[in-house]
Structure 1
Amino acid sequence: MKLPGPAEILRRSGHRADKRLGQHFLLDPSILDRIVASAGGLDGRTVLEIGPGPGGLTGAILQAGAAHLYAVERDPRWIEALAPLVEAAEGRLTVVPGDALGFDAASLETDGPISVIANLPYNISTPLLFHLLAQRHRFDRLVLMFQKEVAERLAAPPGSDGWGRLAAMTQWSCRVEYLFKLPKGAFSPPPEVESAVVRLTPRSAPEHPCSERRLSTVLAAAFGQRRKMLRQSLKPITPDPVALLDGIGIDPTRRAETLGLADFARISNALDGA
């Protein structure tokens, strides 16, 4: 059965994007195919999509041969509008009603790894990314669209303007690849900002082992006052930052943006007495 495209679903439903939910829909078939191809071959794979809307990416994922696609959608208008696509997919598409920020990948009926392909709503992209990273052991790869500035921050190296808690936490847990920009005109309605696609590959083990929870605490403190020296910014999490940093060979007068993942892991392990 032929899959209805997003333009047809939009026309049938009469619905429009809800800006309050950060909805901007991809309609260009060539761009949709390029995004899906970035996830590698999907034949026989289980895929998770977030916010399918009128089903642009949804259809492209199904066309690429995914064994089953779970699409999480909180807007009831699109759940109803996607019914023809669900029917045409002949059992390969399940639309899951609900908020992706509360979605548990463990609820999916699959034993194998899951590939995530999603155009993340701009207004919740960062908390949604952290929610996905917390479940990364279920995923083999994540191909995600962000506002371009956020995508650049995710891939930023230590010492750059974009290096911060978001980049450090993501790069500690995943290999991050900035893939390509998307033109505003690829979306309906066009967003006011540029967008970009990033591929995250979860690490089987971090290159710099430490407690993930402790690392998150360290990064939040260090970058929460990023213009201050570490001897000052780390005071909320340790009574004597100078002694702790001297003990592991890190200059207490350095600032957070000058440290790499290995440094932050050493601080985390020192706080844990490792």
Structure 2
Amino acid sequence: MASVKPKKHLGQHFLKDENIALKIVDALKNEDNLPVLEIGPGTGVLTKYLIKQEDTQFYALDIDTESIAYLKETYSDNQEQFLFKDYLKYDVPFDRFNVIGNFPYNISSQLFFKIWEDREKVDEVVCMIQKEVADRICASHGNKTYGILSVLLQAFFEINYLFKVPPGVFNPPPKVQSAVIRLKRNNIKQLPCDEKFFKRVVKAGFGKRRKTLRNALKDLNLSDSVAALPEMDKRAEQLSVQEFISLTEKIA
């Protein structure tokens, strides 16, 4: 039988603790029984539990040909469920779906930006990522770890920090701590502002996070009345998600 070797250039650290794998799978509630996409299945430590959920449409996506070949051989009756695809470039053919996975560490932030782009389709996400990224996504305003992903994701998802995972349960052990978080789509269908412009405002604000918003947002051609707003004396990390939404409305 084929095997899968972790590849540094793909940011792979394969989980080998079955108890943690079960906790991650159990954390995905999938109350509406939506299709589930596993990103980066690797050696299939989560896959073995997900594929047993017979009433659920399940697909695993990976750009590691070795991983896909191994999983197709291991689960020969389910070969069509293992896709050689890059989620970052994948137009998912479902109206709504859930995401699960031990995200490759070198692209975890990119994956969350794609999840944000897919926000109308993504109902729930359970994933293991670097603790640093988990802290950032879950952070509240006023915290130095609060950033672009914090604001963008919290605008559309309820986010829960589930548990930390030590390096020793991986092959190879990463040089960082890991954590599992859960995102659940909230009831906000649409923001009261242009959502693409909202993203632009947030990215611009944190792009120069040490400056006041008046200076950080200069390239957005602010009117004199907007530039004079009291919130423009603050830095990006001081604004709540709702305040960023309100500010975007005022700038537009």
SS across alignment from 1:140: strand
The Cα of 1:262 is off from its aligned counterpart by: 1.8
Q: Is the 8 A contact 1:148 1:196 kept in 2?
A: yes
Q: Is the 8 A contact 1:177 1:200 kept in 2?
A: yes
Matched residue type, 1:13: A
Give the corresponding residue for 1:215.
198
Assess, with a 3 A threshold, how the Cα gap between structure 1 residues 44 and 155 changes in structure 2: closer, same or farther. closer
Number of residue equivalences = 252
The Cα of 1:91 is off from its aligned counterpart by: 4.2
The Cα of 1:199 is off from its aligned counterpart by: 0.5
Which deviates more from structure 2 when the two are superposed, residues 133-142 or residues 194-203? Answer: 133-142
Give the corresponding residue for 1:201.
184
SS across alignment from 2:233: coil
Assess, with a 3 A threshold, how the Cα gap between structure 1 residues 130 and 26 changes in structure 2: closer, same or farther. same
Partners of 2:235 and 2:139 in 1: CA distance = 16
Matched residue type, 1:259: L
Partners of 1:64 and 1:188 in 2: CA distance = 26
Q: Is the 8 A contact 1:101 1:131 kept in 2?
A: yes
Give the corresponding residue for 1:57.
46
The Cα of 1:239 is off from its aligned counterpart by: 3.8
Give the counterpart of 1:144 among 127, 145, 161. 127
TM-score between the two structures when normalised by the length of structure 2: 0.92
Give the corresponding residue for 2:240.
260
Higher relative contact order (CA 8 A, sep 6+): 2
Assess, with a 3 A threshold, how the Cα gap between structure 1 residues 61 and 93 changes in structure 2: closer, same or farther. farther
The Cα of 1:193 is off from its aligned counterpart by: 0.8
Give the corresponding residue for 2:64.
75
1:218-229 mapped onto 2 (5 Å cutoff): 218-229=201-212
Give the corresponding residue for 1:3.
none
Give the counterpart of 1:86 among 75, 78, 91. 75
Assess, with a 3 A threshold, how the Cα gap between structure 1 residues 169 and 43 changes in structure 2: closer, same or farther. closer
Q: Is the 8 A contact 1:142 1:201 kept in 2?
A: yes
Q: Is the 8 A contact 1:43 1:67 kept in 2?
A: no
Partners of 2:38 and 2:243 in 1: CA distance = 35
Partners of 1:14 and 1:261 in 2: CA distance = 45
Q: Percent identity?
A: 36
Q: Is the 8 A contact 1:146 1:196 kept in 2?
A: yes
RMSD: 2.1
Assess, with a 3 A threshold, how the Cα gap between structure 1 residues 253 and 41 changes in structure 2: closer, same or farther. closer
Q: Is the 8 A contact 1:183 1:194 kept in 2?
A: yes
Q: Does 1:95 align with 2:73?
A: no
Give the corresponding residue for 1:234.
217
Which deviates more from structure 2 when the two are superposed, residues 43-52 or residues 119-128? Answer: 43-52
Partners of 1:226 and 1:126 in 2: CA distance = 18
Give the corresponding residue for 1:7.
none
TM-score between the two structures when normalised by the length of structure 1: 0.85
Matched residue type, 2:234: R
Specify every segment of 5 or more residues in structure 1 that has no aligned partner in the other structure, as ranges.
1-11
Partners of 1:75 and 1:42 in 2: CA distance = 31
The Cα of 1:139 is off from its aligned counterpart by: 2.2
Specify every segment of 5 or more residues in structure 2 that has no aligned partner in the other structure, as ranges.
none
Partners of 2:86 and 2:30 in 1: CA distance = 28
Assess, with a 3 A threshold, how the Cα gap between structure 1 residues 252 and 129 changes in structure 2: closer, same or farther. closer
Matched residue type, 1:98: K
Give the corresponding residue for 1:31.
20
Matched residue type, 1:269: E
Assess, with a 3 A threshold, how the Cα gap between structure 1 residues 42 and 26 changes in structure 2: closer, same or farther. farther
The Cα of 1:43 is off from its aligned counterpart by: 9.4
Structure with the greater alpha carbon radius of gyration: 1
SS across alignment from 1:63: coil
